[in-house]
Chain A
Amino acid sequence: MVLKLYVDRLSQPSRAVLIFCKANGIEFDEVLVDVAKGQQRSPEYAEINPMKNVPAIVDGRFKLFESHAILVYLACAFPGVAEHWYPADLSRRAKIDSVLHWHHSNLRAGAAPYVFNARLAPIFGLPLNPRVAARAEKLLSGSLAKIESIWLKGKGRFLVGSSQPSIADLSLVCEIMQLELLDKEDRNRLLGPHKKVQQWIEDTRHATRPYFDEMHNILFKVKEKLARMPAEGATSKTLAGNKKQILSKM
């Protein structure tokens, strides 16, 4: 029975899992769970993942969710996955683990709500929330600065000084790619100060071509769709009418 990936390419962690499988020749069935249509909340999907988010996998009878857990599982379970993705050496592995854990409360917690509340929400039929976006932006900027000055320190071109990419690089770069949905001005304001980060994104894309671009194509389509929608700005009506937005993890 072939591995099933329950994903939406609009979801950053979904893309990381998809790219990883393609880059390592892991065969799979891609099952779309359309998050903009709320399919993750269906009772059928709750059987796959009761947390109602993507990605999730089913490998035979084994179900798993949380993209980092999935990436580690796939790296260990499938033969032929190159060692650099999740090294056997405990010291190197622990460094990668530390990035993966840091990510949740830092880059992910900043980038995802920022892009959602500054740009993406209308795709989900929701209003933008500039106040939430502004708060998230602070965390996003701080996280990018930490990647620039701490995580990308060292001889190699990848995180934690590695000369080849790991699952941490894939996870974090897919997260940052969500910024492609923003206007060029916003994206440049956020990424412009960080030259190492920009180079690292390129290096990760290069290391996983052509799958990286293939999986990120959706962002350009969504960007076009957003451009065609009626303007959703920060009007006082929007702010006053908003209930507190809780971003469901995609």
Chain B
Amino acid sequence: MKLQIYSNRLSQPCRAVIIFCKLNGIEFEEIDVSLAKGQQFKAEFKAINPMARVPAIVHGSYKLFESHAILIYLACTFPGVPDHWYPADIQQRAKIHSVLDWHHSNLRLGEAGYVLDSRLRPLLGGKLNLEAAAVNEKLLSKSLAKIETFWLRGDGKFLLGNFQPSIADLSLVCEIMQLEIVPEIDRNRILSPHKKVLQWMEDTKNATNPYFDELHSFILELKAVLKADSSVGVTEETKQRSQAVLSKL
């Protein structure tokens, strides 16, 4: 049965799903949905996912969206996926669920909001909102502190004190990688207080390379384009160049 992943690498949850598949030898066809061009709102894509969001998968005739639901489905459906990604033990599994749930209103909300409002929105057709970015930065910082002091407690290198990564590690680290898009001075301000978090990101990267780096490579190019622009919003030229980078995705 064919697996198709409707995705855009600018999207953190998309990257998590694709890295997971590559790492576990799950064959798939990657179908790019251009967010810069608003393709997610077109009828053709809404037939796949009426919520107009990526990622979404089609497996045979079965459609599914929401990256956490997708990761769980893939972990359970495809043979040969090591147990540590989504343990069969219901208590271990429940703890992973609690991270995945916590993520939405905490790290995801703060991080995605901060990056969009301070840097990315003009590239997707919207406007910057520095006031909202400041609010989101507070939530982002609070969430990183929670990861530092609570979720990374324990003997292992990964979330929940686990010795090996789970889908929760992949999901959350891909989210934090979006900070690579903002200026380095801001990224450092936000991340540098959290030594455990920084180490955990390295460990997750090492556990999932070369695919982790492959999926995040576009960020360097995008960052270079944005860095050349010193305006508070973005210039038309930057928009064009960014779209060129994003359109390749």
Contact = CB atoms under 8 A, between A and B. Distances in A.
Contacts of A100: 69, 101
B69 A76 contact: no
Main DSSP-derived SS at the A contact region: helix
B77 A64 contact: no
Contacts of A94: 64, 69-70, 72-73
A20 to B, nearest CB: 14
Interface in B44-73: 50-51, 62, 64-70, 72-73
Nearest to B65: A98
Main DSSP-derived SS at the B contact region: helix
Interface residues of A, number: 32
A69 B97 contact: yes
9 contacts: A51-B150, A66-B98, A73-B90, A100-B101, A101-B67, A101-B101, A105-B105, A105-B108, A150-B51
Contacts of A249: 105
Interface string B68-111: 11101100110000000000001101110110111011001100
Contacts of B95: 64, 69
Which 3 A-B pairs have CB atoms at the shortest separation, nearest pair first?
A: A104-B104, A69-B97, A97-B69
A69 B94 contact: yes
A163 B179 CA distance: 44
Interface residues of B, number: 31
A22 interface: no
A90 B77 contact: yes
A16 to B, nearest CB: 13
B72 A73 contact: no
A73 B91 contact: yes
A72 B86 CA distance: 14
A72 B105 contact: no
Interface of A: 50-51, 62, 64-70, 72-73, 76-77, 90-91, 94-95, 97-98, 100-102, 104-105, 108-109, 146, 149-150, 244, 249
A72 B65 contact: no
Given A62-B91, A64-B95, A97 B101 contact: no
A69 B90 CA distance: 10
Given A51-B102, A64-B98, A101 B66 contact: yes
A178 to B, nearest CB: 16
Contacts of B91: 62, 73
B130 interface: no
B37 interface: no
Given A100-B69, A101-B68, 9 more contacts: A50-B150, A62-B91, A69-B94, A73-B90, A98-B66, A101-B69, A105-B108, A109-B105, A150-B50
Contacts of A108: 105
A72 B72 CA distance: 13
A91 B63 CA distance: 9
A95 B64 contact: yes
B90 A105 contact: no
Contacts of B101: 66-69, 100-101, 104
B146 interface: yes
